[in-house]
Amino acid sequence: MNPISTDGTVSIVARSPDLDTEAVEVVVTVPTFRRPDQVLTTLASIRNQKTARRFAIVLIENDAEGLAGARAATPLFERGDLPGLLIVAHQRGNCSAYNAGWRTALAEFPRFRYIAVIDDDEIADHDWLEQLCGAAERLDAAIVGGPQVPVFPDAASEKWATHPVFAPPYRESGPVKALYSSGNLLMSREVLTRMEQPFLDLRFNFMGGGDSDFLSRAAEAGFRLAWCDEAKLRETIPARRLEADWVQARGLRNGVISTLVEKKKRAGSPFGAARVVAKSLLLLAASPVRGLARLLKTGSPAIALYPIHVALGRVLAEFGYANEQYRQPEKN
């Protein structure tokens, strides 16, 4: 596997023949890390999109040593089964992969209107891309998010569907004030040309939350956000993510991310840091009551514990705690 070109951090290792980069309207970026079988399923769902829009794929391999995803997908690009590029992002980490893909899209496709994101454990409905683009145009939104519908390993696990870790933040399409995940996302080209690089803050590389921080900053910059409930992706949930310690760690991590994102947002404002601490302490004090209310409503101890874990994570972040769940991928 010999690179076509490289800038030291990104190598292009495959390009579909006769790729008309000038005609591409939508670029779909797909980061992948050690999921060769799953990423092929993801790519097949993109290839089968029902849309008249010209789109291309940028597949971002983030395991520069193993290259399992790249080796699995290279023939698809070289034969022209998939339109687009396959690149290797040599710097490991969630944020590094996204940044590499978005920079490559800007460099290689000079006229694209939108850039979409789907992860390598997700499968797109056949109208996913058209739904996202249509929502952006209908709602005059620069950034549109959609639901990541969890697919659990068995019927007994479906009780987790309403847990905040797995449930989508919205249930209806329309303008929203905040988006939190890049796992199902569409952005206009202007978002990337106006936002400062690196797009995702590398401090979140192995924790996650770089997307939440980026979307928060984009909203602060004046970009309109929207939700498209019809643009569904189906996310495979491994059994590991249903274990109590993983769910607890994710709640703590979400609390840490909340504090870090809010600190950046309030940086430079009078008493900004103190206000973040005060909010965290108030949330911690209120969390047992909020947890009890959730327990009475849902009957689920796991759902009841979630606001307590988030509040603890917010406070622990003040002492430098960082739960880097992506640092050891085999445990994630």
pLDDT in tens, 201-224: 999 998 889 999 999 999 999 999
Q: Please state whether the peptide bond connecting residue 198 to the residue before it is cis, i.e. omega within 30 degrees of 0.
A: yes
DSSP code for 184 = E
The pLDDT score that the predictor gives to residue 2 is 63
The pLDDT score that the predictor gives to residue 1 is 67
Q: How many angstroms separate the CA atoms of 76 and 71, rounded?
A: 10
Cα dihedral 155, 161, 163, 165, rounded to 10, equals 110
Token duo for residue 303: 């759902």
Q: Domain 5-239, what fold?
A: Spore Coat Polysaccharide Biosynthesis Protein SpsA; Chain A (3.90.550)
Q: Say yes or no to pLDDT of 3 above 70.
A: no
Query: Dmax over Cα atoms in the chain, in whole Å?
Result: 61
The answer to whether 230 and 173 are in contact (CB under 8 A) is yes
The answer to whether 163 and 247 are in contact (CB under 8 A) is yes
Q: How many angstroms separate the CA atoms of 68 and 90, rounded?
A: 14
The pLDDT score that the predictor gives to residue 270 is 80
N- to C-terminal Cα separation, the chain: 28
Is residue 84 classed as helix, strand or coil in its secondary structure? strand
Strands 5-6 and 55-61: unpaired
Whose tokens are 């399923």? That residue is 41
Q: Report residue 186's pLDDT band, with 50, 70 and 90 as the boundaries.
A: very high
Each domain of the chain, given as residue ranges in start order, spans 5-239, 244-331
Strands 26-32 and 10-15: unpaired
The pLDDT score that the predictor gives to residue 215 is 97
The pLDDT score that the predictor gives to residue 4 is 67
Q: Say yes or no to pLDDT of 190 above 80.
A: yes
H-helix or E-strand containing 124?
strand 122-124
Whose tokens are 């329309």? That residue is 174
The pLDDT score that the predictor gives to residue 156 is 85
Q: Report residue 36's pLDDT band, with 50, 70 and 90 as the boundaries.
A: very high
* Lowest-pLDDT choice from 40-49, 134-143, 287-296, 315-324: 315-324
Mean pLDDT of the chain: 93
Q: Say yes or no to pLDDT of 330 above 70.
A: no
pLDDT in tens, 257-290: 989 888 888 887 787 788 888 988 998 899 999 9
The pLDDT score that the predictor gives to residue 5 is 64
The phi-psi region of residue 80 (left if phi > 0; otherwise alpha if psi is between -120 and 50; otherwise beta) is left
- Burial of residue 22 (CB within 10 Å: 0-12, 13-18, 19+) is exposed
Which positions ≥6 away from 158 have C-beta within 8 Å?
A: 152
Q: Report residue 331's pLDDT band, with 50, 70 and 90 as the boundaries.
A: low
Q: Say yes or no to pLDDT of 239 above 70.
A: yes
Whose tokens are 């400062």? That residue is 196
